[in-house]
Amino acid sequence: MFKGPREAVRFLDAFEPPGGVDVVVCPPFAALAASVGRGVPVYAQNVHWAAEGAFTGEVSAAMLLELGVEGTIVGHSERRQYFGETDESVRQRCEAALDAGLEVIACVGETDAEREAGKTEAVLRRQVAVLPRHERLVIAYEPVWAIGTGKTATPEIAAEAHALIKELHDTQVLYGGSVKPENAAELMAQQTVDGALVGGASLDPESFAGICRAAAR
């Protein structure tokens, strides 16, 4: 929940992604319209499963498409943690978005307690199992214990989790968890890591561009 319309436009005016890498930005709902058409594909941070109805505060896939938005994140760990998202609601949102023609980044990942209890594989199997198979769906692995904490999964931990996800679902898998310019190259050098879902480090255009350059290399 950063950057309203004015800040989003300033960011995009300053952001210069390198060639050779696919980049999207995911502003808050209030900044989507201002961000569309400025040289970088725009995704939403969430979408509802219904086309319309008594769902105050929610936004449908058709509304996003009308704005020119090309895709959406679904099931982000913060949506699961703070807003009651479940595997079932994530499935519903994914299917509605894909059926409407949006690209989807579907997020999966274990909490610190689940990792400590040795449940990482079981959690990933459960979360990935509900996701539809579709050419426009990409999965992001977000170890919840590494989001906003400064902790980062080692390249080996990330590679192992990504390998499991790829066994379960034939798609690209992004890593999301305290990715920054200093660690991006090592993380994305792993064979099973196809890219990054960047959080706090994407708020500064030069920092985000640095991560994109690491991916391009």
At residue 42, what are phi and psi to the nearest 5 degrees? -115, 130
**Tokens coding 41:** 């594909």
Task: Respond yes or no: is residue 76 known to be catalytic.
Answer: yes
Choosing from 76, 85, 103, 162, which is the catalytic residue? Answer: 76
Task: Respond yes or no: is residue 142 known to be catalytic.
Answer: yes
Tell me how far CA of residue 172 lies from CA of 42, 87, 107, 175, 200, in angstroms.
19, 20, 12, 10, 22
Residue ranges of alpha helices (H) inside the chain are 5-14, 29-35, 61-67, 77-83, 87-100, 112-116, 120-129, 155-168, 181-188, 205-216
Place of tokens 């058409």: 37
What 3-state class would DSSP assign to 22?
Answer: coil
Choosing from 48, 142, 162, 169, which is the catalytic residue? Answer: 142
**Tokens coding 136:** 């426009």
Tell me how far CA of residue 41 lies from CA of 32, 37, 211, 212, in angstroms.
11, 8, 17, 14
Tell me how far apart the alpha carbons of residues 39 and 90 are, in angstroms, rounded to a whole number. Answer: 29
**Residues annotated catalytic, as ranges:** 76, 142
